[in-house]
Chain A
Amino acid sequence: MKCFIGIDLGSTTTKAVMMDTNGEILGRGITNSRSNYDTASQVSKQEAVISARLELCHRALSAIPEMKELADDMLDALERNFRLELFLNQLDDLQQTCLHNGADLRHADIGEMLAQALNETFERMKSELSKLFAPGVERKSDFFRDLAGSVYMTQAEAVAEEIGVPFDVLINIYDKSIIETENRPPAEDLVATFLRALDRVMGEHDDLPIEPQAIRELVHTTMDIELEETYVVGTGYGRVRLPFPKEHIRSEILCHGLGAHLMYPKTRTVLDIGGQDTKGIQIDDKGIVVNFQMNDRCAAGCGRYLGYIADEMNIGLHELGPIAMKATKNIRINSTCTVFAGAELRDRLAMGEKRADILAGLHRAIVLRAISIISRSGGVTSEFTFTGGVAKNEAAVKELRKLIKENYGDVTINIDPDSIYTGALGAAEFARRAVAA
């Protein structure tokens, strides 16, 4: 089947959306941009292909009346097992890379002990991390680097002490290896991995209403559907790195405008807070950009600001919003300079202010800046859509709703749970239109 792919190469994450000829979304994929856009774009595309395959399986299973109710569960199990397979493969790659880097001559005197320590660490990691793919477990991140990194640190520290090798050597080996592993383009045989995962799932279900073989064949058939990359459009900061001709590249402003229009056709103003820039975009009734404004010279008040604050506070990026939601008091953070915000943060902490209250103030500081960009682009006159990674942060959303109401009254505010894919969605639609035209 013909597929149209949009890839949004952001400064923090790379997103891909796959679309069919009718403009229906088949799959979405996301990965960290890892300063290597070639790999990031391949990985995100592969993720989109995986999610498209799952979607096709879901469609096929749901079409069988007896399977209709079970389809969701089956798919969930299939995805979990499939992810686990992929994850374990990558973990194995990381282990081999670590062993290879550990065998470096610099460590010749402790070579054997290092290998032993690494193998032991990875054994423990495997059992720890496999648990993350059990039913109902919520993962803090879907990125290999995040999941592997946190567990490696705790396990390696314990193992280092038990075996008697320096912990910092283990860290150095890991730091070097994770980059190599992460930047190796995916070389999986997806279909084979899918089928292995399917076998596991089938093994867990002995009460299927139809013959397991029939399900296997059905999944086989969907796996055999060729997903043809009919047209790919790239957008985002890394777009120039894509091995595409110029006509396959669109500015992210246009893509976000069109993506927001597809999600909410009545949208006239789009705010996108990404990693490095904040964009205020005005669009018409066809999703065509009529005006835009972006942050100038400096990325204060962008998504990366929150990343910095999370690092400063030694907490996860995903934890910022929930903590800030617990605020009971308004604290003013005046600086939108990212680095100065760190100083303000420590100053407020020293004055005895609560973390939640300070974080709420920081979220407000970001949103205030976004509001200024929106007003420069022409303000909010009608339906408003908020997109980008920061749209997932409930505390930022709360402040935004408040400030939009204060400035522009009661306007409809749209926030899609998949808003991070808005740019990639617009790009996929540009790809579809390029062929249709």
Chain B
Amino acid sequence: MAIPTDTEVLKDSSMLLQKQMIAENYDELTNTAETGKKISSTFVPGNLNELVMCFDMLNNLPEINAINNGMRKKSGMMVMQAEKMGHSEDVCTYVKADIGSMSKGNIAPNGKPMPNPDLLLLSYTGCFTFMKWFELLRHEYGCETAMLHVPYEGDGIITQNMRDYVVKQIKEVIIPALEKVSGVKFDIDRLRENLTHSAKAEDDFVWVLESAKNKPSPIDAYFGGVYYIGPIFTAFRGTDKAVSYYKMLRSEIEQRIAEGKGPITPEGDMKEERYRLVVEGPPNWTNFREFWKMFYDDGAVVVASTYTKVGGVYDLGFRHDPTNPIETLADYCLGCYTNRNLSQRVDMLEKYVNEYQADGLLINSIKSCNSFSAGQLLMMQEVEKRTGKPGAFIETDLVDPRYFSAANVKNRLESYFQMIEQRRQSARSAA
């Protein structure tokens, strides 16, 4: 997740390291004409980075490109370009930003054109749009496509049958496709080594997420969280770079706890922690900073979020396991947040509200994301009922700036914060 360049913004060293990692990665991606490396395009949820790296291939993630363009205020034009080409207003705006970007020469953040992918590796983990998106890309690029069909956790459990089905596909469809495109033979020991790196980084990553149980929380697990998930959700999972990043991040957070500091914000350390929230739903990217400011200005810190689990639900116990390399990839895909059913999501949110001692649950419902948004109101009501903590609902979009109405969002957030405060006062006077 790239960070918009702005010299005035205060950053921790880990953020600077991440920025450098991302810049290097884009350089590698745009330099394949010289290096001869092959590119696989894939999505964040269910991405098989450890496996892709076994074939010396690079991983390109279209949603991340869309997020980048959103944060750099470029997505609006791209979305409109895609609409001009015939894509409806209601289609996922990540898709439209990607398609719009393609028609504008697919320029990477480093200013160089992004080469066409050599393989479209579709790991289908609950988001139906992913499949349609890659169908459009296949039409455009005419390149090799491999689809990993991950069964939905409709009953809230992963059965052996489901696992076997995914393992079989990885062995019989995905690995042969990667071998074919890259010309590199699969080496399971290389996969084991990558997975070992993953598990190490995942331990530190979970430690960082759970540090929000402290009061005050040393991190913001949503706005800050999207930076923390950067390396592990993208092209760096399974690399030693990610291991060092999370080690550095962890020591920074340890320092914050020792100093009793709140989270870092673009305007420095957050002063007083007044509200602790759990957030469901992706953030808005086009007005990310403005959106964040509405929280930290009022002393609201997000202590847990589901969005920071879209690339893996590690805090519930999952780790990549080098001793079962293929099975672990299957389990990873099956357990993705997008692949979980409504009651699992409700359980997760309930657990977060309780364990992180939150004041309530806020849902940021995304206009163009049916996959995330369906059922959110029911989820909110159920979490309210189970925890007794108030919920609130706001609506924005991923990367379509037209659907971010700052005045309205701010109005609802302020009302929510004041409502929490009022209820607190009332509980105090009743006591």
Contact = CB atoms under 8 A, between A and B. Distances in A.
A337 to B, nearest CB: 13
A237 B405 contact: no
A297 B426 contact: no
Contacts of A82: none
Interface string B390-416: 111101000000010101100110110
Closest 3 pairs (CB-CB, A-B): A251-B415, A253-B415, A296-B395
Given A289-B419, A297-B403, A297-B408, A251 B414 contact: yes
Contacts of A237: 407, 411
A289 B422 contact: yes
A290 B381 CA distance: 12
A286 B393 CA distance: 24
B289 interface: no
A286 B427 CA distance: 11
Contacts, number: 47
B68 to A, nearest CB: 25
B377 interface: yes
Interface in A285-301: 286, 288-294, 296-297
A288 B415 contact: no
Contacts of B415: 251-254, 289, 292
B377 A292 contact: no
A250 interface: yes
A254 B422 contact: yes
B395 A250 contact: no
Contacts of B407: 237
Contacts of B392: 292
B418 A254 contact: yes
B426 A286 contact: yes
A297 B393 CA distance: 12
B367 interface: yes
Contact of A250 (B367, B384, B405, B418): B418
A326 interface: no
Given A296-B395, A297-B367, A297-B403, A288 B422 contact: yes
Given A254-B419, A290-B419, A292-B419, 15 more contacts: A237-B407, A251-B411, A251-B415, A252-B415, A253-B419, A288-B422, A288-B423, A289-B415, A289-B419, A291-B391, A293-B393, A294-B412, A297-B395, A297-B405, A376-B393
Contacts of B391: 291
A250 B418 CA distance: 7
Contacts of B414: 251
A394 to B, nearest CB: 29
A287 B391 CA distance: 18
Interface string A218-250: 000000000000000000010000000000001
Interface of A: 237, 250-254, 277, 284, 286, 288-294, 296-297, 376, 378
Interface string B362-397: 000001000000000100010010000011110100
Nearest to B409: A297
A251 B392 CA distance: 14
7 contacts: A250-B418, A251-B414, A251-B418, A252-B415, A291-B390, A294-B412, A297-B403
A129 B391 CA distance: 52
Nearest to B407: A237
B416 to A, nearest CB: 8
Nearest to B393: A293
A253 B416 CA distance: 9
Contacts of B419: 251, 253-254, 289-290, 292
A378 B384 CA distance: 11
Nearest to B417: A251
A289 B421 CA distance: 10
B367 A288 contact: no
A277 B408 CA distance: 9
B65 to A, nearest CB: 26
Contacts of A288: 422-423, 426
Contacts of B411: 237, 251-252
Interface in B151-174: none
Contacts of A286: 426
A294 B377 CA distance: 13
Contacts of A277: 408
Contacts of B426: 284, 286, 288
Interface in B279-320: none
Contacts of A250: 418
Interface in B110-151: none
A237 B419 CA distance: 17
A293 B405 CA distance: 16
A290 B422 CA distance: 9
A251 B409 CA distance: 13
A293 B384 CA distance: 14
Contacts of B384: 291
Contacts of A293: 393
Contacts of A292: 392, 415, 419
Nearest to A294: B412
Nearest to B381: A378
A378 B367 CA distance: 22
Contacts of A254: 415, 418-419, 422
Nearest to A249: B414
B242 to A, nearest CB: 38
A329 to B, nearest CB: 35
Contacts of A252: 411, 415
Contacts of B367: 297
Nearest to B430: A286
A250 B407 CA distance: 15
Contacts of B408: 277, 297
Contact of A290 (B390, B405, B418): B390
A294 B365 CA distance: 13
A291 B391 CA distance: 7
A214 B103 CA distance: 85
Contacts of B418: 250-251, 253-254
A292 B377 CA distance: 12
A376 B381 CA distance: 9
A252 B408 CA distance: 12
A288 B390 CA distance: 12
Given A251-B411, A254-B418, A376 B377 contact: yes
Nearest to A292: B415
A237 B408 CA distance: 9
B81 to A, nearest CB: 22
B13 to A, nearest CB: 34
A277 B409 CA distance: 12
Among A253, A284, A376, A378: residue with most chain B CB under 10 A: A253
A376 B414 CA distance: 19
B413 to A, nearest CB: 9
Among A237, A254, A277: residue with most chain B CB under 10 A: A254
A293 B418 CA distance: 15
A233 to B, nearest CB: 12
A57 B87 CA distance: 67
B54 to A, nearest CB: 45
A393 B270 CA distance: 47
Interface string B237-272: 000000000000000000000000000000000000
